[in-house]
C-alpha cells in the first residue's frame, strides 16, 4: 500500500496532477478526443477507477504537454496503457505535464513515480530524455522507457533499466507523402511541423521523399510553429498556430497539407475544411479521421500511423514476462511500427501503390532519408 499513500501525499502537495487507473474493462477504441470531450476520454475515467484490482505490472505514465485528449500522441500512448490494463491486469497512474516546464520539473515527476514503487515508468515524449537519464540510475529496481527518447546517449554507461522506444517516422511519412502527390490536383502540397527538432524533421524528410518519388518537381511548402525545442506548448498544443500556418498554404494553391504537430494539428484540419471542397489534410500518430469533428472528416485524406500504443503495451508486457530490453528499441515499417490509415476510403484507389512501396521499404529496396533533402 506504500505506493498509493506515497503518490496521494505528493499529489495533494501539488507535486503532480494524477489520475489512477487499473483493473477495469471497457472504453471504446480509438484515440480520445479534443480537450477531453470525446466519448473515449470520458470512458477513460471508467477504466482508471480501480487502484488494486489488477495483478500485473504497475505502471506510472508521465504524459507530454497537453495530456490525454490531444487526439494524437498522448492519446495513442493511453490506448496502449488501456490495453495493458485490460489484457495484462496492469495497474497504473497518470501524471500530467504542465506548461513551460524544464528538465528539473520533469525529473521530479519521474522521480515521484519511481518512489511510488511502480515497476515501470513510461515517459511520453523526447523532452523527458534528460530527466530519464538523470533519474533512472537512482532507481535500479524500476524500469524506465522514454517514447521517442534519446536518453541512452546521455548516460555515461549503459543502464539495464532504461530504454528508448523510437519509431521510423520517416518511413510512414514517405507513404503519406506518396498519397499526397497521387491525390493533389495542383502538384502543390504542404507540411506543418511543431518544432524544428531532428525528430520532427524526420516527418518532413519522409513526406518530401515520398511525394517526390511520384512527382519529382512537386511544390512543397514547409512551416514550423516554433524553433524553440523547450516551447512545447506553441509546438504541440496550439491549434490556432496550426491553422495560421496551414491557411496560407491552401490560399497559395496547396491542396494537401500534412502535419506533425500534436494537438496543434487540429488547426490544420480546420484550415482544410475552411478552404473548401477537394482540400485535404493528413493526420499523424493515430487515425485522426476517427476523432475529428464530422465537418472535418471529409478533408482528412489519411493519417501517418505511429504505433505508440503498441510500444507502450509491449514494453509493459516485457516487464510482465521479465524480458525488458534496455537501450534503443526501434519500431519501423517491417513490424508495423509505422504505417498509414484508410478510414474514409479516400486512399482506396491508390492503396496498391502504397502497399507496394511499404513492402519495398520493409525489404530495404527503398531507403528513406531522415533529413530533408531540399
Gyration radius of the chain's alpha carbons: 20
2-167+308-333 against 169-306+344-362: fold identical: yes
In terms of DSSP bridges, do strands 188-195 and 162-167 run parallel, antiparallel, or are they unpaired? unpaired
Render 86-123 in DSSP notation, one character per residue. Answer: HHH--EEEEE---SS--HHHHHHHHHHHHHTT-SEEEE
What is the sign, positive or negative, of the torsion defined by CA atoms of 72, 73, 74, 77? positive
Q: Tell me the three state secondary structure of residue 248.
A: helix
Q: Is the pLDDT of residue 344 over 70?
A: yes
- pLDDT for 87-115, tens place per residue? 999 999 899 888 778 999 999 999 999 99
Domain ranges of the chain: 2-167+308-333, 169-306+344-362
Q: Is the pLDDT of residue 48 over 60?
A: no
Q: Is the pLDDT of residue 22 over 70?
A: no
How many CB atoms are closer than 10 A to CB 177? 33
- What pLDDT does 227 receive? 96
Fold for 169-306+344-362, please state it: Rossmann fold (3.40.50)
How many CB atoms are closer than 10 A to CB 212? 16
Whether 241 and 234 have beta carbons less than 8 Å apart is answered as: yes
CATH of domain 2-167+308-333: 3.40.50.2300
What is the percentage of the chain residues whose pLDDT exceeds 70? Answer: 86
- What pLDDT does 114 receive? 95
Give the span between the Cα atoms of 48 and 275, in whole angstroms.
Answer: 40
Q: Is the pLDDT of residue 16 over 70?
A: no
Q: 53: pLDDT confidence band, cut at 50, 70 and 90?
A: low
Q: Is the pLDDT of residue 8 over 70?
A: no
User: Which whole number is the average pLDDT over 307-320?
Assistant: 96
Q: 324: pLDDT confidence band, cut at 50, 70 and 90?
A: very high
**Can you give the pTM of this predicted structure?**
0.84
Give the span between the Cα atoms of 110 and 166, in whole angstroms.
Answer: 19
User: Which whole number is the average pLDDT over 215-232?
Assistant: 95
What is the percentage of the chain residues whose pLDDT exceeds 90? Answer: 76
Whether 152 and 219 have beta carbons less than 8 Å apart is answered as: no
All residues at 6 or more sequence positions from 12 whose CB lies less than 8 Å from its CB, including other chains:
none
Q: Which of 2-11, 55-64, 295-304 bottoms out in mean pLDDT, i.e. has the lowest?
A: 2-11
- What pLDDT does 100 receive? 78
Amino acid at each position: 500500500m506504500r505506493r498509493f499513500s506515497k503518490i496521494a501525499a505528493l499529489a495533494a502537495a501539488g507535486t503532480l496532477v494524477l489520475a489512477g487507473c487499473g483493473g477495469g474493462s471497457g472504453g471504446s477504441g480509438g484515440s480520445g478526443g479534443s480537450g477531453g470531450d470525446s466519448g473515449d476520454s470520458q470512458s477513460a475515467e471508467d477504466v482508471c477507477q480501480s487502484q488494486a484490482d489488477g495483478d500485473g505490472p504497475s505502471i506510472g505514465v508521465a504524459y507530454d504537454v497537453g495530456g490525454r485528449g490531444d487526439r494524437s500522441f498522448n492519446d495513442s500512448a493511453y490506448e496502449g496503457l488501456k490495453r495493458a490494463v485490460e489484457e495484462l491486469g496492469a495497474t497504473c497512474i497518470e501524471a500530467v505535464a504542465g506548461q513551460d516546464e524544464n528538465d528539473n520539473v520533469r525529473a521530479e515527476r519521474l522521480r515521484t513515480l519511481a518512489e511510488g514503487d511502480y515497476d515501470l515508468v513510461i515517459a511520453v515524449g523526447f523532452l523527458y530524455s534528460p530527466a530519464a537519464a538523470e533519474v533512472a540510475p537512482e532507481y535500479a529496481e524500476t524500469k524506465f522507457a522514454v517514447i521517442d527518447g534519446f536518453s541512452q546517449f546521455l548516460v555515461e554507461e549503459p543502464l539495464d533499466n532504461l530504454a528508448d522506444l523510437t519509431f521510423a517516422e520517416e518511413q510512414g511519412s514517405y507513404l503519406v507523402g506518396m498519397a499526397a502527390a497521387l491525390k493533389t490536383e495542383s502538384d502543390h502540397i504542404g507540411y506543418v511541423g511543431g518544432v524544428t527538432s531532428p525528430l520532427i524533421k524526420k516527418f518532413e524528410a519522409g513526406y518530401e521523399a515520398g511525394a517526390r518519388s511520384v512527382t519529382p518537381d512537386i511544390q512543397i511548402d514547409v512551416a514550423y510553429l516554433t524553433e524553440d525545442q523547450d516551447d512545447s506548448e506553441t509546438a504541440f498544443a496550439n491549434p490556432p498556430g496550426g491553422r495560421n500556418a496551414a491557411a496560407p498554404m491552401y490560399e497559395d494553391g496547396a491542396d494537401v497539407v500534412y502535419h506533425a504537430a500534436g494537438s496543434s494539428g487540429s488547426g490544420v484540419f480546420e484550415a482544410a475544411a475552411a478552404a473548401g471542397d477537394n482540400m485535404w489534410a493528413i493526420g499523424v500518430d493515430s487515425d485522426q479521421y476517427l476523432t475529428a469533428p464530422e465537418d472535418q472528416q471529409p478533408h482528412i485524406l489519411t493519417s501517418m500511423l505511429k504505433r505508440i500504443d503498441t510500444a507502450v503495451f509491449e514494453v509493459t508486457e516485457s516487464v510482465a514476462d521479465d524480458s525488458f530490453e534496455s537501450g534503443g528499441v526501434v519500431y519501423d515499417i517491417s513490424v508495423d511500427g509505422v504505417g498509414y490509415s484508410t478510414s474514409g476510403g479516400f486512399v482506396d484507389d491508390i492503396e496498391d501503390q502504397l502497399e507496394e512501396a511499404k513492402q519495398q521499404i520493409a525489404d530495404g529496396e527503398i531507403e528513406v532519408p531522415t533529413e530533408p533533402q531540399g
